[in-house]
Amino acid sequence: MLVEGLVAVAAAGGGAVVQAAATDALPALPVGFTGRQDDLEFVLGVLEPGRGQGGPAVAVLSGWGGVGKTTLAHAAGHASQKQGWYTGVLLVDLHGYDPQPTLAEDALEALLRSLGVRLEHIPPPGAGREALYRSQLNARQEAGERLLLVADNASSVS
């Protein structure tokens, strides 16, 4: 299988003041996405609700730069939404191979903003962003929503 593009599924969820959420963050697929049907079916098999042990499903796509991991992750996101498995997709680029990768606190801020939390309601770094993110996902899960998280360009799984 193609940890540069990491696709993690979280049953989604909070208490902070929210605005319109941007949970349809996937760009359109490029014309000519071909030759990856076996890989796509494998990833979809991992992402399909009910196929795992009840927790979040995780598919890791790893390989050389430029082989299409990001496009495959996006294709899986589009296909899983089309199947009705997920009500939204969150996308975050971790820039894991850049000189200055995205810090965890900045990734959490971006995800919270995508979930509709207003910037003024996001705690400063180290002051509860992770807890707010989890509460947002829990609230969405309780509301019957399921979110797919695409964390791209991770340099490790940690």
Where do the domains of the chain lie? 5-152
Coil/strand/helix, residue 31: coil
* pLDDT at res. 35: 82
Half-sphere exposure of 59 (CA within 13 A, CB side): 28
Q: Which amino acid is at 15?
A: G
pLDDT band at 6 (very low <50, low <70, confident <90, very high): very low
pLDDT at 153: 92
pLDDT number for residue 22:
61
Q: Which of 9, 8, 6, 14 minimizes the C-alpha distance to 134? A: 14
Question: Which of 7-11, 18-22, 24-28, 120-124 has maximum average pLDDT?
Answer: 120-124
pLDDT in tens, 35-45: 889 999 999 99
pLDDT for the residue numbered 121: 95
- C-alpha closest to that of 97 among 1, 2, 5: 5
Residue 157 is predicted with a pLDDT of 73
Across 3-13, b (16+ Cβ under 10 Å) vs e yields bbbbbbbbbbb
Q: Record the pTM.
A: 0.79
- pLDDT tens digits, 118-147: 999 999 998 899 999 999 999 999 999 989
Query: Model confidence over 81-125: pLDDT tens digits?
Result: 999 999 889 999 999 999 999 999 999 999 999 999 999 999 999
